[in-house]
Amino acid sequence: MEINASMVKELRERSGAPMMDCKAALVEARGDLDQAHKILRQKGQATAAQRSARTTSEGAVGSYIHGGGRIGVLVEVNCETDFVARTPDFQGLVKELAMHIAASEPRFVDRQEVTEEILKEEREIYRQQARATGKPEAVAEKIVAGKIEKFYQEFCLMEQPFVRDPGLTVQDLVNSVIARCGENIRVRRFVRFVLGQGDRRAAGDRPR
């Protein structure tokens, strides 16, 4: 199938990947946009995995104010060098993450931030709910495991569907920027303020 400029442009807008990468993915997918998008996501994940052990000591703190000043977010995103921290790609990512946090109310950066105490409490709630329906113990435990996964997806920033494109997770978004800039990127911490409420600190200031 012939790959035309409009197809490449559409995939570029959906994925944020460089034009040449979009064209190569479309060729590999034989013109199937959805498959090409999946290929780009997989390549982003592979690149992120290769760079995940690299130290991230540079970066930026981004902010977002929403609702006429009723909601505010601060987020710290780290990368490897000051050069990348100043690029439009990285700065755009920081802004997108702050906006997403304001809209989606995550409680944790990732599942590693969820304490065992919180998990124990959630499991007990789900277990009682399953038992109340008369489910056998083995079935109840499977239900609990499934609900814990949903808990991670709902409240862990990196596992949430990205608010601008629910077909991507926030981790997919970060991976796409990692693939383009060639450096490891980590969301270190964030805080979300709501007027009249206590601040919900989603993650402690531990080294990452």
Task: Give me 112's structure tokens.
Answer: 């590693």
Into how many domains does the chain fold? 3
Residue 181 in any domain: the answer is yes
Same domain, 11 and 87: no
Same domain, 160 and 191: yes
Q: What is the pLDDT along the chain (208 residues), one digit of tens a residue?
A: 678 888 888 887 776 667 778 888 888 888 888 888 888 777 775 566 655 556 677 999 999 999 789 999 999 999 999 999 999 999 999 999 999 999 999 999 999 999 999 999 999 999 999 888 888 888 888 999 999 999 999 999 999 999 999 988 999 999 889 888 888 899 999 999 999 886 554 444 433 3
Distance CA 55, CA 184 (A): 8
Residue 206 in any domain: the answer is no
- Dihedral over alpha carbons 142, 162, 47, 188 (to 10 degrees): -90
What pLDDT does residue 55 have? 60
Residue range of the domain that includes 18: 5-51
Distance of CA 161 to the CA centre of its chain: 7
Same domain, 105 and 163: yes
Same domain, 133 and 99: no
Same domain, 165 and 182: yes
Same domain, 161 and 89: yes
Same domain, 46 and 126: no
pTM of the model: 0.70
Residue 208 in any domain: the answer is no
Residue 89 in any domain: the answer is yes
Q: How much of the chain is in helix, strand and coil states, percent to nearest 5?
A: 55, 20, 25
Same domain, 101 and 62: yes
Same domain, 106 and 119: no
DSSP output for 175-196: HHHHHHH-S--EEEEEEEEETT
Determine which helix (DSSP H) or strand (DSSP E) holds 169, and give its type and residue range: strand 165-169
Hey, how many other C-beta atoms are within 10 angstroms of the C-beta on 75?
27
**DSSP assigned state of 202:** -
Same domain, 128 and 165: no
What are the b/e assignments for 6-28, b being 16+ CB within 10 Å? ebbeebbebbbbeeebbbbbbee
Residue 96's Cβ-count burial label (10 Å; 0-12, 13-18, 19+) is buried
CATH classification of the domain holding 44:
1.10.8.10
Residue 85 in any domain: the answer is yes
Same domain, 33 and 65: no
Same domain, 102 and 170: yes
